[in-house]
Amino acid sequence: MNWQALKQQVLHANLELPRLGLVSFTWGNVSARDAASGAIVIKPSGLPYETMGADDMVVVDPDGRVLEGTRKPSSDLATHLELYRAFPALGGVVHTHSNWATVWAQACREIPALGTTHADYFRGAIPCTAVLGEAQIRGAYEKETGLAIVQHFRQAGIDPVQMPAVLVANHGPFVWGPDAEAAVHNAAVLELTAQMAFLTLQLNAQIPAMPAHLLDKHFLRKHGPGAYYGQS
C-alpha cells in the first residue's frame, strides 16, 4: 500500500510545530491515521525537525507493528494508539511540551473556559488527567498515559470531538483533530488559550467561568449542526 501522501502530510504537520513555537528541540510529535487501512504514520523518535524528510516517517498498524520505515517510531506511539483506538473520529494526534499548556499540566489544573476565544474551539474547560500512579509509570508507561486520558474522558462524559485537547498531569498536552493539520491548529489554539487564561487569572483570580449559554453559542456557531461561521 502507498502511504507516501500521508507521510508527506505528517512531515508537514510536524514541521509546523517549531514554526508555530509549540516545540523546543525534539519535544513533540504528530501522527495521522489512514482511514482506509487503519495504518498510522508518526514522527520518528528523537529526530531533529530540521533534518527530517517524508521517508523518515514511520508507518505502523493499529497495534504498533512497523509496516514501513527504517526509523524507530516516536516513544509516545503507544499513547497515540490508545487515543485512536478509543476515539474513532480522530484522524490526527499531536503531543507537545508547549510552554503555557505545559504550565497548566505541571500544576495539574484544568484550563477554565473564561472567554469566547476558548469557546470557539473547546466546549468547556480543558481537562487534566489524574496523576499517574507508580505502577502505571513502571509498567507500560506510554500506553498507561493513553488509558488515563481515555478513562478521564469516559468517566467525565466528555465528547472528544467537542473537546479536542487534554492535559496529562505533570506532563503536557495531547491534542487531536480530524486530520494532522487540524490537530496542529488545535494545538496552537490551546497554547494561546492557556496563556490567556493564566494572564486573566493574574488580573482577577476570582473570575468565574464564562456563562454556559455564551460558551455554547460560540462553540456551536462554528461546530454545531446549524454552524454559520465562515464561508459555506
Rounded to an integer, the average pLDDT of 160-183 is 98
Sign of the CA dihedral running 102, 18, 77, 48? negative
Identify the bridge partners of residue 181 per DSSP, sorted by sequence position: none
Sign of the CA dihedral running 221, 150, 31, 111? positive
Q: Does residue 218 or residue 226 have the better pLDDT?
A: 218
Domains annotated on the chain, with CATH: 4-223 (3.40.225.10)
Summarised one tens digit per residue, pLDDT across range 30-86 is 999 999 999 999 999 999 999 999 999 999 999 999 999 999 999 999 999 999 999
**What's the pLDDT at 205?**
97
Alpha-carbon distance values, 202 to 106, 116, 168, 172 (Å): 18, 18, 23, 21
**What's the pLDDT at 231?**
87
**What's the pLDDT at 91?**
98
**What's the pLDDT at 224?**
83
Rounded to an integer, the average pLDDT of 144-158 is 98
The position carrying cell 507521510 is 7
Summarised one tens digit per residue, pLDDT across range 87-100 is 999 999 999 999 99
Burial category of 230 from C-beta neighbours within 10 Å (exposed 0-12, middle 13-18, buried 19 and up) = exposed
Query: Which regions of 28-153 does DSSP assign to beta strands (E)?
Result: 28-33, 40-42, 58-60, 66-68, 92-96
**What's the pLDDT at 78?**
98
Name the pLDDT band for 2 (thresholds 50, 70, 90).
Answer: confident
Flag whether pLDDT at 215 surpasses 90. yes
DSSP code string of 11-56:
HHHHHHHHHTT--STT-EEEEEE-TTT--EEEPBTT--GGG--GGG
**What's the pLDDT at 116?**
98
Rounded to an integer, the average pLDDT of 160-166 is 98
Average pLDDT, the chain: 97
Name the pLDDT band for 22 (thresholds 50, 70, 90).
Answer: very high
Which residue type is seen at 21? G
| Cell numbers at 160, concatenated | 472528544
Q: Do 125 and 109 contact (CB within 8 A), yes or no?
A: no
Contacting residues for 149 by C-beta, under 8 A, at least 6 apart? 79, 82, 83, 129, 166, 168, 174
Q: Which residues are catalytic?
A: 120, 229
**What's the pLDDT at 182?**
98
Sign of the CA dihedral running 107, 148, 57, 54? negative
